[in-house]
A and B are shown apart, each in its own frame.
Chain A
Amino acid sequence: MHTTMETPATTTNLLHPSKRLRQRYRAERWFKRLGLLAIVLSLAFIAFLFFSIFSDGYTAFKQSYIALDVNFAAEEFTQAKLAHANFPGLVKKAMHSMFPEVDSRRGKKELESLVSPSAAYKLQDMVEEDPKIIGTTQKVWVLAGDDVDMLLKGKIDRKEKQSNRRLKDNQLAWIDRLISDKKLEQKFNWNFFTAGDSREPELAGIWGAVKGSFLTLLITLTLSFPIGVASAVYLEEFAPENKWTDLIEININNLAAVPSIIFGLLGLAIFINFWGLPRSTPIVGGLVLSLMTLPTIIIAGRASLKSVPPSIREAALGVGASKMQTVIHHVLPLAMPGMLTGTIIGMAQALGETAPLLMIGMVAFIVDIPGSITDPAAVLPVQIYLWADSPERAFTEKTSAAIMILLTFLVFMNSLAVYLRKKFETKW
């Protein structure tokens, strides 16, 4: 390594690098440090984000339940239909029997509010499932109200003045008695994974949104993957090179950068207003998200087709394969990992999208679990948005829990993309 022309390359010179060389090394060190700092900073931000979401949300996976001794007295079920029985009344009676000393009207109302309104639905389900329990007394674990749940999770401050608390002193005393009687417990919140949306935080679940997301992405995948791959193959392998294909290429690249809400407007105009497809349904959502995902898939597909070495094409053509056989037998399988990666990344984008869905009415309160692509459905990010906007305090933890679920799906999809890329990487 000659540093200066005058001094001959001696051992001393090698041991004592010149000023210029030292400067070069210093610059290199600084660059490395800055790079490291950037990585550390971004990791810190991610860690902070994950920590705050997790610390807010982990409590949502437990829910408070109250044990009630419900007397399904036969005289309560005199109506023609079981559904018309006074189930809320049964819940109230069970509560009153636990605290017989409460006799004022106001006191009774405060007592009743400890139990979630969903308790009545649970009793109704039990009776409809097995009418034989009429006439018996059953011990039933029902959901506690959201305020009770918040108290047990330490999110309501007992030391606060009574007027400022959502739970009054007498309610706190009842809750303490229930806890000491082992009639108020936190249990794993299965309901969160099996229920649809609800306006009662203790009853709200993510399953409706997960299924909505699944159906929507199914449509998106079904449409955008074959169309995207076919377009990429045509443009890359078959299309003549002229100004039309250049124009198409420019437009595809533009489309990839178009704000997603535009696709929502387009979807509203074409799929709903012109085709008359039903609003708020996965089919429309899937169509709109396909429009959004297609450019991503086409661009990724073309890039991975380009990366297939021409020698493979020549080899196939050289033994007499037709153009189509060359593409299908050799080029496409080699490009497939890249295409799948692009598709998965596109799907992950689609999974996190709300803006275009706003325009087509998927940002909606939907309780029933969607059964098909024409049932109204919400999707995961929409559910997060709706819960974040709800007044009840207990929805805060549900929001964070839903974000955790969404992040889990996203991390899973992106890892799958990385795995596919690693697994099928350059085998020629």
Chain B
Amino acid sequence: MELTSNQTHPAFPTLLSGAVHQESEQTRSQAYTTGRKTVGTPFVDKPRMTCRDVEVYYGEKCAINKISIDVGCNEVLAMIGPSGCGKSTFLRCLNRMNDTVPSCRVVGSICLDETDIYHPSVDVVPLRAQVGMVFQKPNPFPKSIYDNVAYGPRIHGLTKNKVELDEIVETSLIKAGLWEEVKDRLLEPGTGLSGGQQQRLCIARAIAVSPEVILMDEPCSALDPIATARVEELIAELRTQFSIVIVTHAMQQAARVSQRTAYFHLGDLIEVGATDKIFTNPKHRLTEDYITGRFG
């Protein structure tokens, strides 16, 4: 996984040229070469995660094309773009969830606090404890609310006794803004909660193992507007302690919750910048087309 600044990857020249060919057909904007240059400010000072020249392949097909971006500390980074642009794929690279897809292959480097997470000696189990994830559809375990939150600390051995565990569960639920609603029914099944509560339970489950980064894959797409608002508030609160990367289809949501926004297009990272800049004054034409609704 060494860092290569060359335009073509020496190991996979044919794969890449194939991918380029495909894209130049699909794209109606100007022709570009491999690893289209990202406009804006993809890099930050003191990043939590750094991604350099990340490429993702599903078998022969290239899904992510040489992306370089940083995730800062205590920020919400929103990733937007039309369906199939690779934003979810990229998100799932950040905690190696793509490992579960047998045909998926990741090239380039992704570092968490200067450790390459794709290094062969890196264990994904502690990695996923440090980079937690919240999914599109609320997916609590079919266990009690308590066990849902306590599961992570239990398997990672974070607590010595029941008292400590109780504490973690309580603080996690408080942080997730769910404590007041569920404190009297911790032993009832988590699946009995409403959709929005379930999603907040999933967030509590993710933060119970004290991660550094939380990845959110369209966390509000299955929720009604009120539940959405509640989760968005929560994201804003959580930013003080965690780095959050959120994929979303709702541009208003990106505008509301994020500090930086990245626009993806057909496997390329087109533009990254401060959220208010991106939405008011996009530099790239594709970004502008997308946020003004002319495209996508």
Contact = CB atoms under 8 A, between A and B. Distances in A.
Which one of A309, A311, A320 has the greatest number of beta carbons of chain B within 10 Å? A320
A318 B135 contact: yes
Nearest to A322: B125
A321 interface: yes
Interface in B122-151: 124-129, 132-135, 137, 139-142, 151
Interface in A301-315: 309, 311-315
B139 A315 contact: yes
Interface in B101-121: 102
A240 B209 CA distance: 31
Nearest to B148: A315
Contacts of A410: none
Contacts of B141: 312, 315-316, 330
Find the residue from B126, B132, B155, B202 having the highest chain A CB count within 10 A: B155
A5 interface: no
A322 B129 CA distance: 11
Contact of A313 (B100, B125, B142, B155): B100
B206 interface: yes
Interface size grouping (class) on chain B:
20 to 34
Contact of B128 (A241, A317, A329): A317
Interface in B34-80: none
Contact of A321 (B97, B132, B134, B155): B155
A242 to B, nearest CB: 10
A317 B124 CA distance: 9
B277 to A, nearest CB: 32
Nearest to B136: A311
A241 B102 CA distance: 9
Given A318-B206, A320-B155, A311 B137 contact: yes
A108 B188 CA distance: 79
Nearest to A334: B142
Nearest to A325: B155
Contact of B209 (A319, A322, A427): A319
Interface residues of A, number: 21
B185 interface: no
B152 interface: yes
B129 to A, nearest CB: 4
A428 interface: yes
B132 to A, nearest CB: 7
B3 to A, nearest CB: 27
Contact of A319 (B142, B191, B206): B206
A283 B214 CA distance: 55
B100 A319 contact: no
B125 A321 contact: yes
A315 B191 contact: no
Q: Give the most central of B95, B140, B141, B152: most A CB within 10 Å.
A: B141
B137 A320 contact: no
Contacts of A313: 100
B205 interface: yes
B156 interface: yes
A320 B133 CA distance: 10
Interface in B196-210: 202, 205-206, 208-209
A251 to B, nearest CB: 22
Contacts of B205: 315, 319
A207 B127 CA distance: 60
Given A240-B102, A313-B100, A315-B202, A320 B156 contact: yes
A274 B132 CA distance: 56
A427 B125 contact: no
Interface string A397-428: 00000000000000000000000000000011
A315 B155 contact: no
A428 B142 contact: yes
B125 A320 contact: yes
Contacts of A329: 151, 155
Given A314-B97, A314-B139, A319 B152 contact: yes
A247 to B, nearest CB: 18
Contacts of A427: 142, 189, 191
Contacts of A309: 139
A320 B215 CA distance: 13
Contacts of B133: 314, 318
A317 B100 contact: yes
Contacts of A325: 155
A311 B135 contact: yes
Contact of A320 (B102, B126, B134): B126
Contacts of B132: 318-319
Contacts of A317: 97, 100, 128
Interface of A: 240-241, 309, 311-322, 325, 329-330, 334, 427-428
The 3 A-B residue pairs with the shortest CB-CB distance, nearest first, are: A311-B139, A320-B129, A320-B128
12 contacts: A314-B97, A315-B202, A315-B205, A318-B95, A319-B155, A320-B128, A320-B155, A320-B156, A320-B209, A329-B151, A330-B141, A428-B142
